[in-house]
Structure 1
Amino acid sequence: MGKWIGILLLATLGTVVRAADYPSEQGILQVDEMIGGLEHPWSLTFLPDDQGLLITERPGRLRRLDASGRLSPPIDGVPAVYARGQGGLLDVALSPDFKQDRQVYLAYAEAGDGKAGTAVGRGRLSDDGARLEDFQRFFQQQPKLSTGIHFGARLVFDRDGYLFIALGENNQRPTAQDLDKLQGKLVRLHADGRVPADNPFVNRPGARPEIWSYGHRNPQGMALDPRSGTLWLHEHGPRGGDEINLPRPGRNYGWPLATHGINYSFTAIPEAKGKQVEGTEPPHYVWEKSPAISGMAFYNHSRFPAWRDNLFIGALKGELIRLQLDGERVVHEERLLGQLGKRIRDVRQGPDGYLYLLTDEPNGKLLRVGLKPREQR
């Protein structure tokens, strides 16, 4: 953990602001504000070897917070983004071989053809952390159909080094079922953007070979289960029907044919044939009333044993959701931090065993969450 032990003492530098304590089923939650002044932060990732962490801001800035609590100016070399509506600079992930290649992956909204779509590229983080060198885009969502919403855009590498990219359907519902389009899809690529030969739709006429699974609406959380290597993905429903899926190759996850939700206008989804439809996969877990889920992290650290094998999910309606797991089965749900009243955009487990949250607001914050020791309760 190195300097991440020392970061607990950053209050002496005036960086950490003690926020408050909050109740939970497993003890008192201690929430500290690590830094504020972030403009709609969207994602974070921890750098190895005490180099701090990277944070994306939706208007198009990538920032580094070092292990002593200093926030960098915007890192140079970030691509231009389509910063309208829900678009902008979105997810950030590190190469599985980051210690050797220092490659940083970015997902972002990209303009084109009068509309926009999700793009992904990578560049080398300079040794001083001040710029991305030789950034190259290697993936574009085609066609571009978004007018500012439903980009999806989460990135995850699996244990074999394949890159998964979660893509929203750009609010163009039927396209999630169209295999010749990349809307509402989960795609799987090699780290350099090449299509793996064993993807399920390779050599299928009329289908994009990048596709791993389809029928997704607007996935904004994705994480790899550290116990099994299984990929978990969650997505926004419309009015109701947020859901978790465990995407399998070639499977159809239903949107918009199968949904637990309705239109925001309280009318039925025109294409929907029910909550479960033959030929589509039912949700692994579903919220009939949408908490507006965003961000996802498994907890597998020894610091807080009560959280082991739990899944934490951010909610834009102002909560942190804790799901207790028995294998892959969700056996209990707890809502946390509702008193904060903050849109929680991302959640990650830090190398020190604390949870780190980003709040989505003009003055966004990085929060650290832990359980107070029993002697302090």
Structure 2
Amino acid sequence: MKNLTDKNSLRFLRLVILMLFISMFSSCNDLMLGEEPNNTPNDNFEILWKEFDRMYALFEVKNIDWDQLYAIYKPKVNNNMSGDELFDVISEMLAELNDGHVWMIKPDPGFRRFDSGPVYPEGDFDLELVRSKLKAEFSIGDSQDPDVIYGKFDGEIGYIYLENLGLTPAFYREALEHILPFMKDTKGLIFDARGIEGGYDRSSQEVAGFFTKESKLYMTSRFKNGPAHQDFGPAIEWRTTPNLDIFYTKPIKLLTNRHTGSAGETFVLAMKTMGHVLVMGDSTYGAFSDNPKRELPNGWIYAISTGDFRDAAGVSFEGIGIPPHELVKNSPEEIQSGKDKVLEMAIEALKLL
């Protein structure tokens, strides 16, 4: 996804280097097992289009005619064009998908990256502003860049912030087993999911399990398993998994914004099944699917969304985002002036309980 934090950017760079390393061996294996594809603009375009035709899971959800896009963009490709010109044409075609989990990288020389999904303005959330308002604050992880921040605003209102959901379920289980006893005397809790850009769906499921005593269906996922656009495997049901030893079921305000994405969104789906949780803020980003990576003969790396994720009612929020129960937006100007309206409204609502 776009607009990664510095820490996530470093993780992403490491991932790209790892993928490039793996791809070198994959290419060697391809050479040994079969004929290497031609490395021309026409061939690279054809390979990418056919891979999306075979693997992309969201043509129906997004009402996209992939054949029509081929007819539009293929005539723009010729074997005399430069790599940058080809990159521009493919980027235009992938932009039609409006999918935050679809991206393409042209490695050095002349590094370029394209992201298909929408770009939302930043500046509506500042973690340091939140931290300045906490009366008691603790953290888990690197002291300079913690993975978890928690505390209280006035002794009555608790606060939990996760940087992402990219660590193991066991990490979050241990963290919440430590945090929730600290919250036992609070009237309510603010769970800040603004800016959670991704991670593991199993980790989001683990975290949600600490805030319910019931197992409820909150999501289904199914994945492409054949070449036709309608070829999918059976639906996988995702249910909340209650932790009945330690849990918090007092009123919770769950804060979201347009930078809450991927595993952050599947976490929101789980939390929205709970009657004591009210989601406040802006809609989420709208990118749910898993996105395996592929490589073209020219060495470009791209990601394809291969899963169809829906809420318990069968609704897809791909490209749209999950709407909050209560729509409240901060402006960058408010944040710069030291006012986090979303947070302040959540605190005041919990104080009135």
TM over 0.5: no
Larger radius of gyration: 2
- What TM-score, normalized to structure 1? 0.25
Larger helix fraction of residues: 2
- What TM-score, normalized to structure 2? 0.26
